[in-house]
Each structure stands twice: as structure tokens, then as C-alpha cells.
A and B are shown apart, each in its own frame.
Chain A
Amino acid sequence: GAGVSQSPSNKVTEKGKDVELRCDPISGHTALYWYRQSLGQGLEFLIYFQGNSAPDKSGLPSDRFSAERTGGSVSTLTIQRTQQEDSAVYLCASSFTGVSTEAFFGQGTRLTVV
């Protein structure tokens, strides 16, 4: 596709349920990032994938959060046993290899835990 695609765009779930958020990066981009934006807050880094290297998971807030990237392309962010404080917009970005490259963001998934 032309840009980073995220699905679903909106997700409402009950507290305690598991959710999966999907990110399709721009074709050819080897780097993929997940960020979280809570209401009225800045963007919080969650996890970073670069090619076949081990991901940087240093931003994941708890062990309920995990992410994988299959075949170096599509990524899934999984939140287990969701809590109300998990409610936020989850943003995915991708870029080419290298720290000097421009990052492009998707439209985000708005997660609401009720």
C-alpha cells in the first residue's frame, strides 16, 4: 500500500479481554515502531523492530504487552487482560533501514477498555 495501514481503526473491549492490533508497514521498510498516545499525553515509545535483529522492547509497560513481526513485514501488538488504563491510541510507524531515515505513521487504533 501507499502508507502505513493499521487495523482496526477503533476497538472497544471489556476489561480483562485480550486484544490484537495490526500494523502493515510501507513496502520495503525494514524498521517498525509502536507508540501509544493516551488522552492529553505525549507519544510513548513501546517497541521497535529492525530487520531480523532482536526487537527493542524497552518501552513495553508490562508483561501483558507483547508484539511480533512476521516475515519482516506485518506486526501485531497484543495486550492481554486489558485494563482501563490501556485505553489510548496505538500508533505504528515504519521507515527504511538507518537512523537517518524518515518515519511514516499510520492512522492509529483507538482502543477503549470498558
Chain B
Amino acid sequence: KQEVTQIPAALSVPEGENLVLNCSFTDSAIYNLQWFRQDPGKGLTSLLLIQSSQREQTSGRLNASLDKSSGRSTLYIAASQPGDSATYLCAVRDNYGQNFVFGPGTRLSVLP
């Protein structure tokens, strides 16, 4: 059974810092991995989708990498801003089912 973990559970940084969020999964047989952000009381907003054949994806200040063989992905946020404060979730779509398996999330606070 696929399990997804995220480290750290919570992170607080001053504005302007670069930061890295980590996601690990136990079964490397995945189709893709998707990063989301969730603001309090809101749904999920898709940030980046990485296919199993890809190593990284970039969107603006965000860069996500994928090392499928080691079961790891990182989300790099450059020059963090208070508006980046949210919970960041990673989810994998594995070869055994069509649904996504989510990690517990990292709660990020960027202080002005």
C-alpha cells in the first residue's frame, strides 16, 4: 500500500528566504506526482504536476523535482512571500489505482 509522508509538518520563515519542502513515497511505481496548496477553509489549488518520466517542473518561483527511484520529491520556493503562507500537499498516482494518495501536508508561514 502506497504511503506518502511530508517533512517538515510545519515551517516558519522570514520573507525573502528560499525554502524546500519534502515529500516521500514508499512505492516507486507511480504515474505522476502533483503538488497542491491549500489555504485555510479552501479547496486545493494545483501547483505543479510531474510525470514519472520527468525530473523536474518549474512554474514561476516554484520548482518541483522528482527522484522516482528513491521515492522523493521536493518543492523549492524561491524568494518566499507572505502570500505563500498555506498548507502544501503532495499526492502520487500509483500504478495500482486511479486515485491519488496524499501526504499529510506541510503548513508554511512566511513572516513579513
Contact = CB atoms under 8 A, between A and B. Distances in A.
B contact residues, range: 20 to 34
B43 A91 contact: yes
Contacts of B46: 102-105
Contacts of B34: 102-103
A99 B101 contact: no
A104 B100 CA distance: 12
B71 interface: no
B32 interface: yes
Interface of B: 31-32, 34, 36, 41-46, 49, 51, 89, 91, 93, 97-105
Contact of A42 (B93, B97, B102): B102
27 contacts: A31-B98, A33-B99, A43-B89, A43-B102, A45-B99, A45-B100, A48-B98, A48-B99, A50-B98, A56-B97, A56-B98, A59-B99, A91-B43, A91-B44, A93-B44, A93-B100, A99-B31, A99-B93, A100-B32, A100-B51, A102-B46, A104-B46, A105-B36, A106-B43, A107-B42, A108-B42, A108-B43
A110 B41 CA distance: 9
Nearest to B105: A42
A64 B27 CA distance: 32
A47 B104 CA distance: 19
Interface residues on A, range: 20 to 34
B98 A99 contact: yes
Contacts of B105: 42
Interface string A52-83: 00001011000000000000000000000000
Nearest to A40: B104
Interface in A83-101: 91, 93, 99-100
A107 B98 contact: no
